Amino acid sequence: MTRAQDNSRLSTLALLTFTAANLPYAALSIAVFVFLPPYFAGHLGVSMGIIGGVWMGVRLFDIPVDILLALAMDRTRTPIGRYRFWLVIGAPVLMLGLYKLFMAPHGFDATYLAIWLLVLYLGMSITVLSVSAWGATLATQYHERSRLFGVMTALGVGGAMTVLLIPILGQSFGRTNAQSVQTMGWFIIILTPLTMGLAALRTPEVLAPALKGPKSPELREVWAVIAKPDLLRLFFAQVALTLGPGWMSAIYLFFFTEAWRYSLQQASLLLALFILSGVPGALGGAALSRRIGKHRALMVSAVGFSVGLTAILVVPKGNVLAAAPLMIWSGAMAASFNLTIQAMLADVGDEVRLDQGRERLSLLYAVNGLAQKIAAAFSIGLTFPLLARLGFNPADGAHNTPQALNNLSWAFIAGPTAFVMMGAACVIGWRLDAHRQGEIRQALALRDASA
């Protein structure tokens, strides 16, 4: 089905049905990047060097995958649609990778970790890329895109919160920390076919008409998209804005349980507050974007996050009530990062389609996914070896010196703050505002009608 004119405002039911596909990704982002590396190092006896080195290596090796998937996805036309087809393929791949990592044997080697991380990331690439590009075709208006990606972010908090409740409640049921991590894996494995299946079955797919035939994309056109200045700015912004919170996530448990003397349950509770605040944060970020523009809202959120995170250093150690407001504030600010860039990418996609006559949304979101992969690789690939060099020992029951714990504390604050502010600087002077995007959509509507 093709579109001759912009679609109307999406209903709340349609938004919730489609954005449910983001629930597993939001859940595994917490489980995989916050709980899994410490579980490997502390419980399964895998060295921090292997975890950090393999994680970074797999991410860097995986970089071309998103671009290749995007080129294939943008050319796909099947009886069940373009993005629906890829979503159905990606879900079982994702489930297999989750199973092999969360149920990994004790003392596994680097080869085992590399293979199943590659499978996991392949499943993530297919599902996230198809959902993001599909969402950009569902919402075509400047402010409607902020609403869609805002709801997607807010709804994803539900999946992340459920994962965080597992270790918090696990102790009450006599479950060990290791058993709680395995339960997280089973939860996401079961959630994946339920939510992605619902989105695939209930969401209509609307494809824009291509003014050129279904021939292979010309290298010149592909390069023109990748080298587009606006896309490059968003690329570097995404790297920095992912690396900041990713750095924080990688050493979060070490910081709160070792340096700041919280129990695992208390640290999980604070992280739950951080994630839960993403609901008002995402909705508030979308509202702020409609008022002052997406790029300005992104800069405000980056400054707010940095101030809130830095203030944690003055909180008394072990005091949950004192730390809670700062975690809530920082979580609300961080919720705007991804949704704002996702919405801005959709606006860039409109301009690309106006210039080239064909949809390149998959390619745009693949470049954005590449930025996230690079950041995720370095968030663990940098922090774990860095902590080892700073004298920190993550093993269960290990004794760390005051100097090592002080180094851990400064690493936890300095890395995220620096990278997030770099990300905000990337969108200073952004030109694709509501007025410009409205002109582009009007030109596309006229051309689509004649086509």
> pLDDT tens digit string along 172-218?
777 777 888 899 999 999 999 999 999 998 888 876 666 554 454 56
Most confidently modeled of 8-22, 149-163, 240-254? 240-254
pLDDT at 133 exceeding the cut of 50? yes
Q: Is the pLDDT assigned to residue 232 strictly greater than 90?
A: yes
Its CATH class, for the domain covering 17-206+217-450, is mainly alpha
User: What average pLDDT does the structure give for the chain?
Assistant: 85
Q: Which has the higher per-residue pLDDT, 66 or 124?
A: 124
Amino acid at 173: F
Res. 6 pLDDT band, cuts 50 70 90: very low
Q: Mind listing the pLDDT tens digit for each residue in 343-368? A: 899 899 899 988 888 888 888 888 88
What predicted TM-score, i.e. pTM, was given to this entire model? Answer: 0.71
pLDDT > 50? residue 293: yes
* 287, pLDDT greater than 60: yes
CB 43 within 8 A of CB 99: no
Confidence band for 316, pLDDT divided at 50, 70 and 90: confident
The winner for highest mean pLDDT among 253-262, 286-295, 322-331, 395-404 is 322-331
- Checking if the pLDDT of 91 tops 90, the result is yes
What's the pLDDT band for 80 if we cut at 50, 70, 90? confident
Q: Are 170 and 179 in contact (CB under 8 A)?
A: yes
pLDDT of residue 375: 85
pLDDT one-digit tens code per residue, 23-77: 898 888 888 887 888 888 877 888 888 888 888 888 778 778 888 888 888 888 8
Residue 449 to residue 266: CA distance in whole angstroms: 57
When pLDDT is averaged across residues 103-118 and rounded to a whole number, the result is 90
Q: Domain-by-domain residue ranges, the chain?
A: 17-206+217-450
